[in-house]
Homo-oligomer: A and B are copies of this chain.
């Protein structure tokens, strides 16, 4: 075995993922889409989603070309003295294309799977699960497939085309791929997030303002935009997010792996001196095969337990991957070695240590997921407390939800702190980076479980609009609920891996920028830390107020249609859905520019002022961003499920609510005052959990990768 053959094999794993994704897409597309009405609705949604992505990509293509040119030019003039190359612009282009491609494929198959899930739900739960999961799996496999194929191909090209290049130079040049992926991801997450929540909040409130029209009612002109939002925000946006984490953690580890080249020289290792550089790619490649295998366990017979099927698939894949990692690491790396790396200095490493670091990452991911689950599940104390506080109105519901969100950051911070100390203890900085890779190695199947939620949600919306019998909606609702536990674990991995990936990139940045330490007792570094820490606040504020403005536009448009289209309220005339889709699209594209540019330009500006200050900024944005993201995501999730808990009928404790509820019933449910209060909380939580919260995951990685890419220029 040599490095060339190994890289080719890695690329083959990427191709395997894409072939499977293609097969599943064919299978989904071949299914029956249902009644004419269903086809019509699905067509509206698919066209809306396509139109949005097309406009978004048009804007982004200008941006991508400019940045690619800038990167090439900046590295051109500096070429010679530093370990970089103008080809970093090409890597950037390829990364942007792969990220955009993954989002596009995910959206495409999701808008086919949604209506087919509805149709399958007409016959039973099991077939509906299979369709929705397949839709999600296509997304998951496209993400990991394009990621591994893209990185592998670039490595192959640069390493074997330019034989004079050092491995450092190859890896530095590939880092542009990660930047391309990150910048597309940020715009996709922010734009998609604004789109989906503007439509959601708009449809919801417009329904309230023009009374009697619920958000899923076909008479509500914003309803199609709301459904389009699920596809472009929750599916395509999430795909771009995990694509970025996946690629970022691999690149970060590759950069740090170059530190072992001198130590490995002459050793008999599968990929020679660059074994530690290729290790993350090998783990990712094997992870693809495990994900594909795991997907076959997600089968459920009628009457079987779909929750169990999903858990078997995801946890099974994770466990198998953990086991395989041991053998891969043992095979790829020597049993023990000494190395002198730029930041850590001289240290001893063992392959067992590297494996334990991977394990630390996996365990931390699962633990953070369990904490997330505890704070947001419909069956635990925190959501019960929020539901109970809804009895005294919206204000106490909000106070309680904000409190739950803040509390929920505590344990994840502790777990991350221990994971950092632990993985560093096992394999220094390389350990932190490889822990992130470990967390993300089975992204393929994790993302399938994540994406299957919004597909089921969409399927329910279609059932409602097409006026199918209520049991169809019940089945899709159950499908949606079933994935929640597994999805919570997935969220834990997303947040944990974002933090570790950012730290891996941060360490890689320090190495490439030649920084030995980041001493926060230095005023400039402290100032950088403070500025970094405030970025998530300003960024979230931008996203939140964008949703506010865009949903106000939407409400006005709905009002206009009701005022001007005769017969719309009575259901005899058709709403102009396309207008609402246009409004969401225009708002999302307009509003994503400012936060996106801020995220790109601030690190560049600070970096050219003082690279140490940029180091402070990175630490600040990572720490503050992770906590602010957990706070927002979990508060949003808890509000959502507190509302669901009331909707399913909540019996109040008579001892606690004895006097107060004397005149009232002790059961609160849909339509009660408490429910109205809970709906307010849910609406506040929408942009928290679907726009600003998850965007912060990307923000911290993007800023870190910007720093890494500009490091050779500083």
**Residues of A bordering B, CB below 8 Å:** 201, 205, 208-209, 343, 385, 389, 392-396, 398-400, 402-407, 409-410, 413-414, 416-418, 420-421, 424-425, 432, 503, 507, 510, 515, 517-524, 526-531, 533-534, 537-538, 540-542, 544-545, 547-548, 551-552, 555-556, 559-560, 563, 615-616, 619-620, 623-624, 626-627, 631, 658-660, 662, 679-680, 683-684, 687
Could you jot down 16 A-B contacts, CB within 8 Å? A205-B395, A395-B684, A399-B544, A402-B544, A403-B548, A406-B541, A410-B541, A413-B530, A414-B534, A420-B527, A421-B527, A510-B521, A520-B520, A555-B660, A556-B659, A624-B624
Given A521-B510, A533-B627: A394 and B394 interface contact (C-beta under 8 Å) = yes
Query: In the bound complex, what is the Cα–Cα distance between A276 and B409 (angstroms)?
Result: 42
CB distance from A668 to the nearest CB of B (A): 14
CB distance from A16 to the nearest CB of B (A): 37
Report whether B410 and A201 are in contact in the complex, using a CB–CB cutoff of 8 Å.
no
Report whether B209 and A407 are in contact in the complex, using a CB–CB cutoff of 8 Å.
no
Report whether A662 and B518 are in contact in the complex, using a CB–CB cutoff of 8 Å.
no
CB distance from A242 to the nearest CB of B (A): 23
CB distance from A664 to the nearest CB of B (A): 10
Contacts of A396 in B (CB 8 A): 201, 205, 548, 551-552, 683
Given A420-B523, A523-B421, A523-B432: A413 and B534 interface contact (C-beta under 8 Å) = yes
Contacts of A402 in B (CB 8 A): 544, 684
CB distance from A692 to the nearest CB of B (A): 9
Report whether A520 and B521 are in contact in the complex, using a CB–CB cutoff of 8 Å.
no
**Nearest B residue (CB) for A392:** B205
Which of A417, A517, A552 has the most chain B CB within a 10 Å cutoff? A417
Which of A420, A421, A530, A547 has the most chain B CB within a 10 Å cutoff? A530
Contacts of A524 in B (CB 8 A): 421
Report whether A627 and B534 are in contact in the complex, using a CB–CB cutoff of 8 Å.
yes
Report whether A540 and B660 are in contact in the complex, using a CB–CB cutoff of 8 Å.
no
Report whether A563 and B530 are in contact in the complex, using a CB–CB cutoff of 8 Å.
no
Report whether A531 and B417 are in contact in the complex, using a CB–CB cutoff of 8 Å.
yes
Given A400-B548, A421-B527: A521 and B521 interface contact (C-beta under 8 Å) = no
Report whether B420 and A526 are in contact in the complex, using a CB–CB cutoff of 8 Å.
yes
Contacts of A389 in B (CB 8 A): 548, 552
Given A409-B538, A537-B407: A517 and B523 interface contact (C-beta under 8 Å) = no
14 further A-B pairs in the complex, CB-CB below 8 A; given A519-B520, A560-B659? A201-B396, A209-B660, A395-B683, A398-B684, A402-B544, A406-B544, A407-B545, A413-B534, A414-B534, A515-B521, A517-B522, A518-B521, A526-B619, A563-B659
**Nearest B residue (CB) for A539:** B406
Query: In the bound complex, what is the Cα–Cα distance between A619 and B623 (angstroms)?
Result: 11
Contacts of A521 in B (CB 8 A): 343, 507, 510, 515, 517-518, 615
**Nearest B residue (CB) for A410:** B538
Other-chain residue from B409, B518, B563 in contact with A537 (beta carbon distance below 8 A): B409
Contacts of A683 in B (CB 8 A): 393, 395-396, 399
Query: In the bound complex, what is the Cα–Cα distance between A399 and B395 (angstroms)?
Result: 13
Given A395-B201, A413-B531, A520-B619: A556 and B660 interface contact (C-beta under 8 Å) = yes
Report whether A680 and B406 are in contact in the complex, using a CB–CB cutoff of 8 Å.
no
Contacts of A527 in B (CB 8 A): 416-418, 420-421
Report whether B409 and A534 are in contact in the complex, using a CB–CB cutoff of 8 Å.
yes
Report whether A395 and B680 are in contact in the complex, using a CB–CB cutoff of 8 Å.
yes
CB distance from A617 to the nearest CB of B (A): 10
CB distance from A553 to the nearest CB of B (A): 10
Other-chain residue from B398, B537, B538 in contact with A398 (beta carbon distance below 8 A): B398
**Nearest B residue (CB) for A673:** B209
Query: In the bound complex, what is the Cα–Cα distance between A541 and B208 (angstroms)?
Result: 32
Report whether B420 and A538 are in contact in the complex, using a CB–CB cutoff of 8 Å.
no
Contacts of A404 in B (CB 8 A): 541
Given A521-B343, A523-B421: A392 and B555 interface contact (C-beta under 8 Å) = yes
Other-chain residue from B545, B560, B662 in contact with A403 (beta carbon distance below 8 A): B545
Query: In the bound complex, what is the Cα–Cα distance between A502 and B114 (angstroms)?
Result: 54
Which of A507, A541, A631 has the most chain B CB within a 10 Å cutoff? A541
Report whether A563 and B519 are in contact in the complex, using a CB–CB cutoff of 8 Å.
no
CB distance from A368 to the nearest CB of B (A): 13
Which of A392, A414, A518, A547 has the most chain B CB within a 10 Å cutoff? A392
Contacts of A526 in B (CB 8 A): 420, 503, 619
Contacts of A542 in B (CB 8 A): 407
Contacts of A410 in B (CB 8 A): 534, 537-538, 541
Report whether B394 and A680 are in contact in the complex, using a CB–CB cutoff of 8 Å.
yes
CB distance from A425 to the nearest CB of B (A): 8
**Nearest B residue (CB) for A618:** B520
Query: In the bound complex, what is the Cα–Cα distance between A510 and B520 (angstroms)?
Result: 12
Query: In the bound complex, what is the Cα–Cα distance between A620 and B414 (angstroms)?
Result: 13
Given A407-B538, A420-B523: A399 and B684 interface contact (C-beta under 8 Å) = yes
Query: In the bound complex, what is the Cα–Cα distance between A542 and B404 (angstroms)?
Result: 9
